[in-house]
Structure 1
Amino acid sequence: MSYVVLVTGVSGSGKSALSRHLSARGEHAISLDGHPGLCQWQDQHGRHVQRPVKPNIGWLRTHHWAWRPTALDTLIAERRQAGHRRSFLCGTAGNQHQLLDRFDLVVTIDVDAATMSSRLDSISRSNPFGRVGASRRLLAERFESDRAAMLTAAHHVVDATAPVEVVANMVCALAALHQLEVIGTRLASSARQPGHRREAPPRAAHTTG
């Protein structure tokens, strides 16, 4: 059964770039923003709405980018049954803090405000959010609160101002370490079960010269 890791962070932290890099390395990684049927804009009542081409600050303050819980559950179930050692789901959403218990591990890739701003301006960035309408103003307004919430919710934090290959190495190492910790906990729990008998270690082989 696959181990499912959420990699999250503020806009411009490098989630999509990390997803592409992990995939190129042979890891199973998905950029959640582009996953069919998962993400949508919602109003304050949770109703699906279409985002204006150039949203103003008033509209953005009363709407949020959200994951559909049923679609997320389906995606995670598919990942768990896929037979891969682990899967990295990379993204962020306004309602993610209500859904974190779906994941085995949460890693926040962290950047400062200056790094976020410079990356939002990058011509290599495919996501237009941060360049359309008042989206840059919204991200600046919410940077400190969004960043603090993601840092608090994460099991681990990785400095994402480093090159993407360094970030990928850290994320993979943390996932591997956490997997080992989970396996160790399960083995210890099994050993404490009533009636469990620990097998004697095999005898060392003796050789004669």
Structure 2
Amino acid sequence: MGIRNYLIGGVSGSGKTTVCNELQRRGYHAIHGDRELVYQGDPETGTPTDGFKPEHHIWHVDKVKALVANQDEAVTFFCGGSRNFHKYIDLFDGVFVLDVDLETSLWRIDERVALDPTDWGGRPEEREISKRMYQTKEGVPKNGIIIDATAPIDHVVDEIIRQSEENKHQRQ
């Protein structure tokens, strides 16, 4: 939905939801991809699947394309992760990868599970999957701009906005 569109990704517990909330609070158009675009499906074909598997956590490619094509906003930030990002990553003007250490990632997962025991990471097998995904960086774009997401949220979002503005001026 933006003239410029950015993807904000990272491992579980890196702060994607918090960044999205802060961008929205500041008046930016930001989409919670893990809420608004996600479903369980085959990452190659998009065919819906039954049950939950982290490798089937994908976004509706047609919805991403439609949102990117709509240029009602000056800039839109798509926040979240999916296993089929390779199907739409070229649509974005830039990609930001929120980077945290494993301890911070697990601490943040514990914090959100304390608020909602059904949230991702609450079950031992989910915690193990989160650790594995942290180590392998499965589902995280490789060539994004790395943002230190261990910093306070204001600093993290300030840096994303600064980098997106720099990108805007470089493209003109």
Do both share a fold (TM > 0.5)?
yes
Partner letter of residue 62 of structure 2? T
SS in 2 for 1:12: coil
Q: Does 1:178 align with 2:167?
A: yes
Check if 1:130 corresponds to 2:121. yes
Q: Does 1:15 align with 2:16?
A: yes
Q: Once the 2 structures are TM-superposed, how far is the Cα of residue 32 of structure 1 from its aligned partner?
A: 0.6
Give the RMSD, CA atoms, in angstroms: 2.3
Give the match for residue 72 of structure 1: 64
Residue number among 65, 75, 81 corresponding to 1:92 in the alignment: 81
Instruction: Identify the residue that residue 135 of structure 2 maps to in structure 1.
Output: 144
Q: Is the 8 A contact 1:97 1:153 kept in 2?
A: no
What residue ranges of structure 2 are gaps of 5+ in the alignment?
none
CA distance in 1, matches of 2:39, 2:18: 21
Contact 1:151 1:157 in 2 (8 A): no
Partner residue in 2 for 1:48: 48
Report the secondary structure of 2:51's partner residue. Answer: coil
Distance in 1 of aligned mates of 2:171 and 2:117: 36
Question: 1:193 maps to what in 2?
Answer: none
Counterpart residue type for residue 148 of structure 2: D
Letter in 1 for 2:19: L
- SS of 1:153's partner is coil
SS for the counterpart of 2:137 is helix
* Cα distance, 1:182 vs structure 2: 0.2
Are the aligned partners of 2:11 and 2:133 in contact in 1 as well (CA < 8 Å)? Answer: no
CA deviation map 1:129-162 (0-9, x unaligned)? 1114621111111212216x736221x1110001
Question: Against the structure 1 CA distance between its residues 46 and 87, is the aligned structure 2 distance closer, same or farther, given a 3 Å change threshold?
Answer: closer
> How far apart, CA to CA, are the structure 2 residues paired with 1:13 and 1:6?
14
Residues 54-106 of structure 1, C-alpha deviations (whole Å, 9 max, x = no match): xxxxxx47x4201121121112223xx21x22111111101113321011110
| Structure of greater Rg | 1
Q: 1:87 to 1:125 in 2, by over 3 A?
A: farther
Name which of structure 1's ranges 16-25 and 120-129 shifts more when overlaid on structure 2: 120-129
Unaligned runs of 5+ residues in structure 1 are 53-59, 184-209
Distance of 2:94 and 2:168 partners within structure 1: 9
Displacement of 1:47: 2.9
Aligned equivalent of 1:6? 7
Instruction: Give me the whole-angstrom Cα distance separating, in 2, the residues matched to 1:153 and 1:40.
Output: 25
In the other structure, the counterpart of 1:39 is 38
